[in-house]
Amino acid sequence: MRRLLSIVICSFIILSAVSVAASAAVMNDEPFGLRFAKSNPYGWIFSQRYNTDNGTDDPQGTDEPAIDRPAMEIEHPENRPYDVNEVFEKHEYVTEDFTVKYRLYLPDNYDPYGLYPLMLFLHGAGERGDGNDVQLNEGVVDMFKDPESPVYDSIIIAPQCPANEQWVNVPFEKGPYSVSETPESEALKRVVALIGDITERYAVDSDRIYVTGISMGGYGTWDILSRHTDLFAAGMPVCGGGDPECLDVLFYVPIYAFHGQKDGVVPMTGTGKMVSALKRAGAPNFEYKYYPDGQHDIWHNVYSETENMKWMFDQRLSARAEK
C-alpha cells in the first residue's frame, strides 16, 4: 500500500514539475517541445509538438519528426468588430538603405502553414509622419465595421509615408498625370520592397495580393498597379488619379475605382479620365462607382460596404494570367 502511495505521489510531483517548466518556457518564450503560440492577440492556441534541438521553429527537426497534430484553439472572446489600433502591430522594415514603418494585421489564430491573402493599404496625405500610429485612422477603421468582411481573414500591411514625401510625386489637385514622365517615388519603391519581405516571412498567397488606397493613396494605388502589374491580383483606388496612357498594362487588371462627384480636394478627372479610357477600350475587369453627393471622404462609404471588399478579395492573379 505504501509503495502504491509512493508511486502516486511521485507521479504527481513529476507532472507538476513538467507543468511548471512548460509554463516557465512559455513566459520566457523558450522552446519546450510543446509550443504555445499567441493568437494575435486574443488568447492562446495549443499547437504542434516541435523538435527544438535544432534551435528553430521548424517542426521537421533533425533528431526526430514532429508529431502531426492539428492545432486546437483554446476558447477566447469573440469581440468583432475589432479596434484596429489594438490588433494592428507596429513594425519596422529596416535595411542598410532605408526604414519603413508599418502596421501589420494577422488573422486571429494565424497559421504559419496556411495561405492568406495580403492587402496593402496606402493612406492619404494627412496621415504622413513617423509615429507609425495615424495611418489606420482613415479607411482601415471602416473596413473592420462588418464582422463578415474578408479583411478579418487576411494579412494587411499599412506602411506610413514620411511627412516630406508622397506615394506619387505629382500635385493631387491636377488630376491625371504621366507615369512615363514621373519617376517612381522612393516611398513607393520602399513599399514594394516591404511586400517582398512580408511574402517571404508570412504565409502569403501570391495569387491573392491586393492594393487599395485613399486620396494620395488612391494615386499610389493607380501608380503601383501601373508599374508592378504582375504583383497584384486586383486594386481599389479611392478618390485618386492615374495615367490613362497606361491602358495597355492595366487592361486586364481587375480594378474597382471610386470617386465623389463633389470632391473638392482631388478633382473627379483623376478617376474620370481612367474610367473613360478603360471603358472605351472595353477593359473586361474594370468597375467604377461615383457617389453623386460624395465629398472627398467617400472612403467611409466604400470600405463600409462589404460587397466592395468581397469583390476585390474574389479576384485571383492566376485568372488574369489565363487570359
Domains assigned to the chain: 27-77 (no CATH), 84-321 (3.40.50.1820)
Peptide bond into 41 cis (omega under 30): yes
Report pTM: 0.76
Distances (CA, A) of 3 to 10, 209, 250: 11, 64, 80
Distances (CA, A) of 29 to 33, 38, 72, 73: 12, 11, 19, 19
Q: What's the pLDDT at 286?
A: 96
pLDDT in tens, the chain (323 residues): 555 445 445 555 544 544 444 444 444 443 333 333 333 332 222 223 223 333 333 333 333 333 333 333 333 335 566 788 889 999 999 999 999 999 999 999 899 999 999 999 999 999 999 999 999 999 999 999 999 999 999 999 999 999 999 999 999 888 899 999 999 999 999 999 999 999 999 999 999 999 999 999 999 999 999 999 999 999 999 999 999 999 999 999 999 999 999 999 999 999 999 999 999 999 999 999 999 999 999 999 999 999 999 999 999 999 986 65
- CA atoms of 262 and 293, how far apart (whole Å): 6
Q: What's the pLDDT at 79?
A: 55
Task: Give yes or no for a contact between 219 and 167, defined as CB atoms under 8 angstroms apart.
Answer: yes
Q: β-strands 286-291, 255-260: how paired? A: parallel
Distance of CA 57 to the CA centre of its chain: 23
Question: For the sheet containing 155-159, what is the strand order?
Answer: 89-94, 99-105, 155-159, 116-122, 204-214, 234-238, 255-260, 286-291
Q: What's the pLDDT at 25?
A: 43
**Going by C-beta distance under 8 Å and a sequence separation of 6 or more, which residues neighbour residue 4?**
none
CA dihedral sign, ordered 137, 140, 143, 148: negative
